[in-house]
Amino acid sequence: MYVMVTTSTTTTTTMTFSRALPLLLASVSLVSAQLVPLVDKRFSYPDGIPYQVDTDDLVRGRQTGYNRCNSTTEGQSSLCQTSFINSIDDFCLWAPIEPNSIVGNVEGEMVAWCTKKGHGARQIPAEALQGVQFMKTPDYVQVVGFVDQSKINLQADDTGGEMDPHGADLRGNPLGGLLYSNAYGTDNKTFTQVIEWHNFIGSGFFCLKACDPAGPNAAHFCEHVYDRIGCQYNAPNAAQNGTFESCKGENQDFPGVYVQNGVTQTYRQPPESLGPIATIPYTARIPASSDCAPFQSADIYVTATTSSAATSAATTSGTGTRTGTTSPTQTGNNQAGNGASSLTGSMTMVWGVLFVGLFGYTL
């Protein structure tokens, strides 16, 4: 969730909680000069990682899970919030602790669900992944795909939203979430902390991009301000349902940046207060891929041995008061995939144009 942090110092004496919250968040980032933004924190893997990387107790409460993950935390009740993106057969997605959740309600508390054991996290059931494309480009690694999201604790029709290491209060979504990759080390046993990343999930589709921390444009390729326009605009790709492949590729354009009549333009996502996004003036370019190696799902994913419907481990860790910036009746403003199948009734008209623009994949 992206909220513009203003520098307003308005007093808030008689405001209701919901109206005061943005101001509260703003003052958090103003007043607490001591709050270190998540993107400014560095931890070497594995020994430099503390139990929790976020020890603040501010508007959104405490970090829900932990970052020190090992064989004792592994399993379907893990609250591990240290994630990985290494290869088509070894990556994690942020997903809820409790079954039947909605991204907008729990984005601050997501935990790592991984394709492989060994990360001290939960496991994505093999049958949840319906088509996956992994891609390495000069500036990032990315995994996108089709997912039965009900198997990783999301409501089947949730249109979803974005997780990234920013957030209005700079503590990340999820709070304290870390991401590592072996794509940027000298060998595949070296895991580098990924500073800029984004992960959209919803409407049966996901995309996770991890930008090379040594790259000059990591913050641009892994932009976090386009949380309402999904994978098609943040991670344009040609992934196909039912296909599993690992590719090399060209870089995408920076999210939001496009060329029209020879002029480079930057799209500005309108605030949610203006209602649904009716039109987007461009279609994001899908970059070329090459050297795609095909895989069979059964060869790269294994089914978790325990139920994927497992719930919270009820271990320690703060309760994490609700993610204040998000409407509890989230209605698809933070689209991850296409969202088409999840919208009904009178909303269909409103969202009609949106469907065209928000496909997170090519058919």
Stretch that binds ligand NAG, among 35-43, 64-72, 104-112, 319-327 (CB under 6 A): 64-72
- Interacting residue with ligand NAG among 134, 146, 200, 351 (CB under 6 A): 146
User: What is 50-106 written as a DSSP string?
Assistant: -S-S----BTTBS-SSBS---TTT-STT--B-EEEEEETTEEEEEE-SSTTB-HHHH
Stretch that binds ligand NAG, among 69-77, 230-238, 257-265, 292-300 (CB under 6 A): 69-77
Residues 238, 362, 197, 217, Cα dihedral to 10°: 60
Nearer residue to ligand NAG within complex by CB, 189 or 268: 189
Which of 11, 336, 315 lies closest to 152 in space, CA to CA? 336
CB 113 within 8 A of CB 209: no
Structure token digits, residue 244:
């599993």
CB 171 within 8 A of CB 5: no
Residue 68 in contact with ligand NAG, rule: CB under 6 A: yes
Residue 188 in contact with ligand NAG, rule: CB under 6 A: yes
Round to whole Å and give the CA distance between 196 and 213: 7
Residue 134 in contact with ligand NAG, rule: CB under 6 A: no
Nearer residue to ligand NAG within complex by CB, 3 or 97: 97
Residue 221 in contact with ligand NAG, rule: CB under 6 A: no
Stretch that binds ligand NAG, among 56-64, 67-75, 94-102, 211-219 (CB under 6 A): 67-75
Residue 130 in contact with ligand NAG, rule: CB under 6 A: yes
Minimum CB separation of residue 110 from ligand NAG in Å reads 17
Nearer residue to ligand NAG within complex by CB, 27 or 133: 133
Three-state SS at 107:
helix
- Contact pattern for ligand NAG over residues 157 through 186, marking x by CB under 6 A: -------------------------x----
Residues numbered 85 to 104 that lie near ligand NAG (CB under 6 A) are 86, 90
Residue 362 in contact with ligand NAG, rule: CB under 6 A: no
Minimum CB separation of residue 73 from ligand NAG in Å reads 5
Chain centroid offset of residue 292 CA? 25
Minimum CB separation of residue 315 from ligand NAG in Å reads 8
CB 50 within 8 A of CB 43: yes
- Interacting residue with ligand NAG among 8, 10, 51, 278 (CB under 6 A): 51
Nearer residue to ligand NAG within complex by CB, 172 or 256: 172
The beta-strand segments (E) located in the chain are 82-87, 90-95, 111-114, 122-123, 129-136, 140-147, 161-163, 178-181, 192-193, 197-202, 205-211, 244-249, 257-260, 263-266, 289-295
Round to whole Å and give the CA distance between 177 and 54: 9
Nearer residue to ligand NAG within complex by CB, 188 or 265: 188
Minimum CB separation of residue 130 from ligand NAG in Å reads 4
Q: Let me know how long the chain is.
A: 363
Phi first, then psi: give them for residue 135, nearest 5 degrees: -140, 135
- Interacting residue with ligand NAG among 161, 165, 172, 204 (CB under 6 A): 204
CB 200 within 8 A of CB 51: no
**26: number of Cβ within 10 Å:** 20
The number of residues that bind ligand NAG (CB under 6 A) is 16
Minimum CB separation of residue 33 from ligand NAG in Å reads 29
Chain centroid offset of residue 78 CA? 18
Q: Which residues bind ligand NAG (CB under 6 A)?
A: 51, 66, 68, 70, 72-73, 86, 90, 130, 146, 182, 188-189, 204-205, 241
